[in-house]
Amino acid sequence: MPGLLIIPSIDIKDGKTVRVVQGIPDLNCKAYGNDPVEMAMIWRAENAKFLHVVDFNSSHEHSHKNFDLIAALCESVIIPVEFGGGISSLEEAREVMKLGIYRLVVGSLAFVNPKEFGKILEDVGPSKISAAIDVVDNQVVIHGRSQKIDISPLEYAKQLEKMGVQRCILTDVQRNGMLQGPNLELSKLIALETQMKITHSGGVSDVSDLKKLNEVVSLGIDSVIIGRALYENKFPCQKIWRKAESGLFD
């Protein structure tokens, strides 16, 4: 059985790599390095097989100021890159995919305009879409994690599945960047109650957390996005990827 896929996150604001804690980008993080393209190349050199890129200018301002940079990032590595950044229309989705993106992350649109989201699913293809489910206090949040909606994560996941979604990124926002351990029970619930593949996000702090996630790969939780813990060298990168790919974690 394949092991857990570890996906480094590169969060971008104003052309620079930023740290994100509970969904809030912080530009005052000099130790992380400023150049997203250089960061992508570093993670590739560390044997990453996939990258997760979030464009906060696109997400919060619908600005395309980072698009040339993201195109350069995609060109700089030979591995797939997924993009999240407030996609609001089929036209915008097509524009982003032209940057060299492999998979598109769509969040709020799936809830506020399911018809337009359906067009994106049909045009891009379900295998190239990840639906974002962001959660605060067991409620789904949208619009840059600023607005709670009256629906549980499980109910929303089932709605997405009925739309044709095959994969979701499940984030416990309160654990995002906090190094407090993953909300594994939430990911397991969605995995057990739907047929979607789950990319877990939020809370991973060390190798012990990865061991816990690796134990539930068979449920469909096949990948994990990691940000702060990687940037702050909470574990040796090469060792993690080598073990994750072999599925050993002994």
Provide φ and ψ at 171, rounded to 5°: -125, 120
If pLDDT is split at 50, 70 and 90, which confidence band does 205 have? confident
Asked whether residue 248 carries a pLDDT value surpassing 50, the answer given is no
Which of the residue ranges 62-76, 170-184, 224-238 has the most confident prediction, judged by mean pLDDT?
62-76
* DSSP strand pairing (81-84 vs 221-226): unpaired
Asked whether residue 183 carries a pLDDT value surpassing 70, the answer given is yes
Q: Which of 83-92, 195-204, 240-249 has the lowest mean pLDDT?
A: 240-249
pLDDT by residue (tens digit) across 17-74? 887 554 455 544 444 568 999 999 988 988 899 999 999 899 888 899 999 999 999 9
Count of domains in the chain? 1
Whole-number mean pLDDT of the chain? Answer: 86
23 to 33, 74, 221: CA distances (angstroms): 19, 23, 22
| Catalytic position from the list 11, 55, 209, 222 | 11
By C-alpha distance, which of 205, 202, 199, 213 is closest to 231? 205
Distance from C-alpha of 111 to C-alpha of 161, rounded to nearest angstrom:
13
Distance from C-alpha of 89 to C-alpha of 73, rounded to nearest angstrom:
23
pLDDT computed for residue 229 by the predictor: 80
CATH of the domain at 24: 3.20.20.70
If pLDDT is split at 50, 70 and 90, which confidence band does 137 have? confident
pLDDT computed for residue 153 by the predictor: 94
Average pLDDT over residues 206-226: 90
pLDDT computed for residue 182 by the predictor: 80
Asked whether residue 241 carries a pLDDT value surpassing 80, the answer given is no
14 is annotated as an active-site residue: no
Q: Which of 110-119, 139-148, 238-247 has the lowest mean pLDDT?
A: 238-247
Within 13 Å of residue 187, how many CA atoms lie on the same side as its CB? 32
Stated pTM of the model: 0.88
Average pLDDT over residues 172-178: 66
Average pLDDT over residues 172-200: 84
172 is annotated as an active-site residue: no
pLDDT by residue (tens digit) across 76-98? 999 999 999 989 999 999 999 99
pLDDT computed for residue 22 by the predictor: 47
89 to 113, 118, 130, 161, 173: CA distances (angstroms): 9, 10, 15, 20, 25
Range of the domain at 154: 5-246
| Catalytic position from the list 55, 134, 209, 222 | 134
If pLDDT is split at 50, 70 and 90, which confidence band does 178 have? low
If pLDDT is split at 50, 70 and 90, which confidence band does 142 have? confident
